[in-house]
Amino acid sequence: MRWSEQRPRRTLHFLILVRRMRAQLAAIAVFIAALLLISCATDSVYGVSNSIRFAYPTMGFVGAYSKQLTLGDVRQIDRLARERSDVLKPVDQIVADHPDEVEVHTGNPQTSGDRACTFHARKRSGRWFISDKPCCSNKTVITS
């Protein structure tokens, strides 16, 4: 065989190899772009920001307006509970069903009959305050 007859086969193999590599590189680039976009997301699947989730990992957040809570809001609400002697500690859950009002559950009841407290807090001019007398009871019922 002459050199001129062998060259087209080598070129064909080279072209197939380059096309496969381009497809793989494109797939890798798309995967990396997707990872970057996911990592830039500020909200977590829990409905609150990651900064709140990291600062208060055991606290639960529910309600239509829980996504609007800021880390500063949660810190103020937690401070309200810690400063009151008639409220059990820690804060377990914040229920945000209204934009500037929350229901706070405290006491960390583990079994039925454990004591727990509930109070409502409102936000006015950027500051949270307890809007009603905390209600504490030992009528906790644990299900599940």
* pLDDT tens-digit series, residues 32-54: 766 666 655 544 444 788 899 99
Question: How many domains in the chain?
Answer: 2
pLDDT at residue 4 in the model: 53
Residue 58 clears pLDDT 70, i.e. is over it: yes
Indicate yes or no: pTM above 0.85. no
Is 143 among the domain residues? no
Q: Give the list of residues 6+ apart from residue 103 with CB closer than 8 angstroms, or none.
A: 94, 95, 97, 118, 119, 120
pLDDT at residue 107 in the model: 86
In terms of domains, do 105 and 59 share one? yes
In terms of domains, do 63 and 121 share one? yes
In terms of domains, do 19 and 59 share one? no
Is 144 among the domain residues? no
Which comes out higher in pLDDT, residue 129 or 5? 129
* pLDDT tens profile 76-123: 999 999 999 888 889 999 999 999 999 999 988 777 777 889 999 999
Is 124 among the domain residues? yes
Is 27 among the domain residues? yes
In terms of domains, do 70 and 126 share one? yes
In terms of domains, do 34 and 55 share one? no
Mean pLDDT of all residues in 12-34: 63
Is 82 among the domain residues? yes
